[in-house]
Amino acid sequence: MKINKLILLFVTTLFLGSCSNDEQGSTIESEVETPVTVKASFSYTISATDPYVAIFQNTTESSFQYQSLWDYGLGEGKVNVGSGLVEVRYNEVGNYTVKFYAVYNGVTTEESKTIKVDENGICPNGLCGSTSSTSLKDAATTFAVGNITRSSWVIGSGKYIELLKNEFNSLTSEYEMKMNVMYPAQGSYNFSAADAIVSFAQANDMYVHGHALIWHNATPSWVENFSGTDAEFEAMVKAYITTTVTRYKGKVRSWDVVNEALEDGSGNPLRKSVFKQKMGDDYIKKCFQFARDADPDVLLFYNDYNMASSATKRAAMFTLVDELGDLIDGVGAQMHISYNGPSASQIKNLADGVISRNLKLHFAELDIRANPNNDLTVLSNDRAKAQSAKYKEVVQIYNSIPLENKFALTVWGVRDNESWLIDFWGNADWPLLFDSNYNKKLSYYGFLGGLQ
């Protein structure tokens, strides 16, 4: 069995206080000396980033210099690791009796606790199989925690449905609330998949974030090849947005009105989409106005990627957003990032820009590549830890923005093996919070740790 022990912090408990035994003895000679003992005491918590790791703390109260010894219940007997916090990993399911000893004046006192470990890690409060452990949505008390789904997944029951309902309180359709699916042929809408997702969310008290009314990558071919005048094109877009937003009025909390309108290249101009070509450079403003007119209460977002890593794209986005004035409620910052970047300060810069404009911030489409350089064939412990730390960092940044700017943090997928990234990059990766068996990964605990 492998035991990892790491002394994190040395707490000074070993020094004599200013009032020593000797001083007392010399000034009050007539008092009978009672033997002094030091009462051993310790506590432990479960690591936020690794459910199999207990963090032990010596909580003995004494100003006397005593010796402290641990027995972690792993068959090693007593070990002296000094004082401070100690991390111990319990790799195997079982019950472990942990003892802490304080030795002073020839007297040894001890405290003992039982650590129970099941297949999910150390059981909180010794309650194995407890379903009362905090879920992501419960831990995030000031914003929604979302994930994506598909209409074929929200029917029936099973592990997936349980997990989705337990951990998340906001849903985004992965691809079925885009124009190519909702409006596949002229004059013929198909809302069946979107309806299924929205109904499921309503039945389970979850928000729906509508994604995305206009996206150059999800435009049906009849729209790309529109036959008609520019005025007819614009009327068609107006009717589509009005029909869709009206249909889900009161059921959808928010919409990405336009997605990824900016080029990646120099200057980050508007992409030359069919919408720009036919409706003009102010097509985004027009689309926001159509949506606003259809539902004055729904929150309207502009959504795009790489805005933390690219300062120029961020600047172009803010120019675009500023031109929208009161029509826009928030910015969706897609968080398709990697374990090693963008940096916390880049992410904060983006958040600060949104906050300074009094807009809502959506950390959207969160997934964190563990293998961006394709140097792994399996997820190593070190990389899993680094990925978990990045999740924690992102969540901490989001959790620390002002309440009025908070909206939701949406993870882009549940199981690693279902992530769009695998096909997109064509190499192995494990970017999400759950493995292919729906087990929580270290990344899950990193996310949770960011909320604490």
- Would you name the residues annotated as active-site residues? 260, 365
**Binding characters for ligand 9MR, 126-165, by CB under 6 A (x = yes):** ----------------------------------------
Provide CB contacts within 8 A for 330, sequence distance 6+. Answer: 254, 299, 300, 301, 354, 359, 360, 361, 362, 407
3-state secondary structure of 402: coil
Other residues' Cβ atoms within 10 Å of the Cβ of residue 356: 10
**Binding characters for ligand 9MR, 322-361, by CB under 6 A (x = yes):** ------------x---------------------------
What's the alpha-carbon Rg for the chain, to the nearest Å? 28
Binding region for ligand 9MR (CB under 6 A) out of 6-14, 45-53, 122-130, 170-178: 170-178
**Binding characters for ligand 9MR, 256-295, by CB under 6 A (x = yes):** ---x------------------------------------
Dihedral of CA atoms 78, 79, 83, 86 in degrees, nearest 10, equals -100
Dihedral of CA atoms 340, 342, 346, 348 in degrees, nearest 10, equals -80
Q: Least distance from C-beta 326 to ligand 9MR, angstroms? A: 26
| Phi, psi of 378, deg, nearest 5 | -130, 155
Residue linked to tokens 């794209």: 313
How many residues sit in the footprint of ligand 9MR (CB under 6 A)? 8
- Residue placing its CB nearer to ligand 9MR in the complex, 304 or 329: 304
Q: Least distance from C-beta 131 to ligand 9MR, angstroms? A: 30
Binding region for ligand 9MR (CB under 6 A) out of 136-144, 171-179, 345-353, 383-391: 171-179
Beta strands in 136-206 (DSSP E): 144-149, 170-173
Binding region for ligand 9MR (CB under 6 A) out of 126-134, 172-180, 201-209, 239-247: 172-180
- Residue placing its CB nearer to ligand 9MR in the complex, 93 or 185: 185
Q: What is the DSSP letter of 135?
A: P
Q: Least distance from C-beta 364 to ligand 9MR, angstroms? A: 8
CA distance 168 to 135: 8
Binding region for ligand 9MR (CB under 6 A) out of 26-34, 120-128, 173-181, 268-276: 173-181
Q: What is the DSSP letter of 387?
A: H
Burial letters 148-158, b for 16+ CB under 10 A, else e: bbebebbeeee
- Residue placing its CB nearer to ligand 9MR in the complex, 21 or 190: 190
- Residue placing its CB nearer to ligand 9MR in the complex, 259 or 405: 259
Question: Amino acid identity of 437?
Answer: N
Q: Least distance from C-beta 394 to ligand 9MR, angstroms? A: 17
Strand partners, 7: 86
Q: Least distance from C-beta 309 to ligand 9MR, angstroms? A: 15
Task: Specify whether the backbone of 410 is left (phi greater than 0), alpha (psi in -120 to 50) or beta.
Answer: beta
Of 160, 175, 189, 191, the one binding ligand 9MR (CB under 6 A) is: 175
User: Token digits for 409?
Assistant: 């943090």
**Binding characters for ligand 9MR, 198-227, by CB under 6 A (x = yes):** --------------------x---------
Dihedral of CA atoms 311, 301, 211, 234 in degrees, nearest 10, equals -100
- Residue placing its CB nearer to ligand 9MR in the complex, 353 or 431: 431
Q: Least distance from C-beta 302 to ligand 9MR, angstroms? A: 13
- Pairing relationship of beta strands 94-104 and 67-71 according to DSSP bridges: antiparallel
3-state secondary structure of 313: helix
| Phi, psi of 316, deg, nearest 5 | -65, -40
CA distance 25 to 27: 6
Which parts of 403-432 interact with ligand 9MR (CB under 6 A)?
Answer: 420
Under rule CB under 6 A, residue 365 binds ligand 9MR: yes
Residues binding ligand 9MR (CB under 6 A): 174-175, 178, 218, 259, 334, 365, 420
